[in-house]
Structure 1
Amino acid sequence: MLRQRIITALILAPLFIWAIFAMPSHYFAQLLLVFVALGAWEFSRLIKFKHLVARLLLMVGIVACALIIQNNAQIIAFVLYLSILWWMVNVYWVLSYPNKTNLWFNPLIVRIISGVLLLVPMWVALITLQQQYGADYFLLLMLIIWGADSGAYFTGKAIGKRKLAPKVSPGKSIEGVIGGIGAALIVMVVFLQYQNIATNQYLSYLLLAIVVASVSVLGDLLESLFKRTSNIKDSGQILPGHGGILDRIDSLTAAAPFFLLGLGLI
C-alpha cells in the first residue's frame, strides 16, 4: 500500500504542479471543477445515497452552485465566511461523536448542505487564490497541506501516543498534529526566504501556516466522521494507494477558505 501511495504521488504531484503554473486560469478552474464533481459523487456515497439518479443530482447540484457564484464577488465572500462558521461547528460534531449524530447526519437536508459547504467554498477559494495571488501562493497552500500531512504521519508513527480523536480517527495523535504544524512552518519559512515579503509580516504568515495546518486536520477528521458513520473505509478507488478524490482533498476542503481569507487579512 505504501509503495502504491508513493508511486501515485510521484506521478500526480508533478502533473498537478505543472497545471498550477502552465494552464490558463480558466482551464485550470475547469480542472478543479472536475475534482469537485468527482468529490461530490463520492460524497453522495458517504451520505448513503444509493440510487444513481440521487447521486447524479447531488453531483450536478454542487457543480451548478459553484458555477453560479463564481463571478459574484459578494456572494463568494459570503460563502467563504459561511464556510468558516460551518467548519467551526464541525469541530463540535467531531468532538461529540458519536453523540449528536442524529443532528448532523440523519436529516437529509443537512447532509446535502454539508456536501455543498464541503466542496463549493473550496473551489471558489482555490480559483480566487490563483487569480488574485498567483501560482506561487497556490503552490504554497498545497505544500503547506502536503507538508502538514507528511509531518503528521511520520511524527505520529515515531512518537504518537496521545490520541487526537480516537472515536473518529484512531490513527491520529496530538504529537502527529504538532509534527504536521512544524512541517508547515518549515514550508512557510522557506517560502518567505524566496519571496519579497517585508520582515514585519513574517509573524502573520507563520500564524497563517499554523492555522491552515491545524484546520487541514479538521477536514480530514470530518471526512472520517462521515466514513465511520456510513461504515466506509475509502471514499473511492480512483487513486491507487490513496483511495478516492475526497481522500486526497479532504484537508484542502477546510484549508482553502481559511488560507484565502487569512491572506486577505495580512
Structure 2
Amino acid sequence: MAPVAIGAVLLLPTSWLMLPSAVVFLLALWEWLRLAEVEDTLARSILLACNLALMVALVWGSRSQHAGALPLFQVAVVLGVAWWLLSLLWLRHYDFAARHDGNARMFKLAAGTAAIVPAWCALALIHASQPSGHRWLLLALLLVWAADTGAYFTGRRFGGQWFGGRRLAPRISPNKTWEGVVGGVVLAMLVAVLGALVIGAHAAQLPGIALVAAITVLFAVAGDLFESLLKRHAGLKDSGTLIPGHGGVLDRMDSVLAALPVFALGKIWLGF
C-alpha cells in the first residue's frame, strides 16, 4: 500500500487528496467505533455519517480565496493536539473508561472524533502549504515509518539494557521498551533533517525541524499506545480485518493519527 499512498501524496492536488484520505480515515473511525463497543451496524453508520458531516462542515466553513488558508482546519489541529496531550492522562490511568457501560462508550466515541477529524485536517493543511506541501506531508509520514523501524530494531537489540529493564507501558503493550522509543526518535530526527535538506529548508531551520520531528514521534507512540489500550479494553487483538494478514486500517494508522496534528502545528508555528 505504500506506493499508492506515496503516489497520492506527491501527485494529487490537495482537494483531490482529501477525498480518498477521508475514506481511509472514516474506515479507521469505523473500526474505532467497534473498539468502543458500538456493535449495532445502524448506530455505527449514523455515528460515521455525523463525523463525515463534520468534515464537510469544516471544508465549507474554511472556504476562502486563499486555497491553503483553511482556518477551521487550523483550529481543529490545535484541538487535536490538545486531545493527544489529554490522552496521556488516560494512558496513565489504565482503568479509566474500561467498564463496558454507556459512560465509557461516550468517552471513547468522543475520543474517536478528536483523533480522526483533526488528523485529516492536519493532512490537508500540510499538503496545501506552500511551497512543497506535498513533500512535507510525505516527510511527516516518513517520520512515523522511520520511528517504527528504529524502535523495532533498537528495542530488539538493546531492550532492557539502558533503563534498568523498565518497560514503556507494560500493562498496555508489554513488548514496547524505552530503548525502542529512543531509537525511533533518533532515526526520525535523522530522517527529518535529511528530508528537510532535500525539500530545500535552510540550515537555520534544521534544529527546529529536528525538534518537531522528535515531539511528533513521541506523540506517535502515544497514538499507538492508545489504540492498544482500546483493544485491551475491548478484548480484541486487531482493530479489524480489512487488510488481510495485517489487522485493520486503524492498526496501520494509529501512530499517524497523533503524529499529523503535532507536525502540522509545529510546521505552522516555526514556519518551515
**Same-fold status (TM-score > 0.5):** yes
Measured after TM superposition, the shift of residue 101 of structure 1 is 4.0
* Conservation of the 8 A alpha-carbon contact between 2:32 and 2:250: yes
Decide which of 86, 93, 96 is 1:96's aligned counterpart: 93
User: What residue in structure 1 maps to residue 137 of structure 2?
Assistant: 138
User: What residue in structure 1 maps to residue 184 of structure 2?
Assistant: 180
Q: 1:106 to 1:172 in 2, by over 3 A?
A: farther
Measured after TM superposition, the shift of residue 111 of structure 1 is 2.2
Measured after TM superposition, the shift of residue 100 of structure 1 is 6.2
Instruction: Show CA shifts across 1:138-185 (max 9, x none).
Output: 110010000001111121122212310011111111000001001101
Report the Cα distance in structure 1 between the residues aligned to 2:157 and 2:245, rounded to whole angstroms. Answer: 21
Q: What is the DSSP-based 3-state SS (H/G/I as helix, E as strand, rest coil) of the residue aligned with 2:199? A: coil
User: What residue in structure 2 maps to residue 21 of structure 1?
Assistant: 10
Is 1:58 the counterpart of 2:47? The answer is: yes
Q: 1:177 to 1:113 in 2, by over 3 A?
A: same
Decide which of 47, 71, 82 is 1:85's aligned counterpart: 82
Report the Cα distance in structure 1 between the residues aligned to 2:143 and 2:178, rounded to whole angstroms. Answer: 18
Decide which of 234, 240, 260 is 1:236's aligned counterpart: 240
Decide which of 118, 122, 125 is 2:119's aligned counterpart: 122
Amino acid at match of 2:171: K
Q: 1:66 to 1:254 in 2, by over 3 A?
A: same
Q: 1:195 to 1:228 in 2, by over 3 A?
A: same
Amino acid at match of 2:15: H
User: What residue in structure 2 maps to residue 36 of structure 1?
Assistant: 25
User: What residue in structure 2 maps to residue 214 of structure 1?
Assistant: 218
Give the share of equivalent positions with the same residue, in percent: 35
Instruction: Show CA shifts across 1:201-232 (max 9, x none).
Output: 11101101101111100000111111110111
Measured after TM superposition, the shift of residue 25 of structure 1 is 2.2
* Conservation of the 8 A alpha-carbon contact between 2:97 and 2:104: no
> In angstroms, what is the RMSD of aligned CA positions?
1.8
Moved over 6 A (4+): none
Report the Cα distance in structure 2 between the residues aligned to 1:111 and 1:100, rounded to whole angstroms. Answer: 8
Decide which of 106, 131, 143 is 1:109's aligned counterpart: 106
Q: Aligned pairs, how many?
A: 255
Is 1:200 the counterpart of 2:204? The answer is: yes
Q: TM-score, normalised by structure 1?
A: 0.90
Report the Cα distance in structure 2 between the residues aligned to 1:116 and 1:135, rounded to whole angstroms. Answer: 25
Report the Cα distance in structure 2 between the residues aligned to 1:247 and 1:239, rounded to whole angstroms. Answer: 9
* Conservation of the 8 A alpha-carbon contact between 2:97 and 2:105: no
Segments of 5+ residues of structure 1 without an aligned counterpart are 1-11
* Conservation of the 8 A alpha-carbon contact between 1:36 and 1:63: no
Segments of 5+ residues of structure 2 without an aligned counterpart are 63-69, 161-165
* Conservation of the 8 A alpha-carbon contact between 2:188 and 2:213: yes
Report the Cα distance in structure 1 between the residues aligned to 2:120 and 2:223, rounded to whole angstroms. Answer: 14
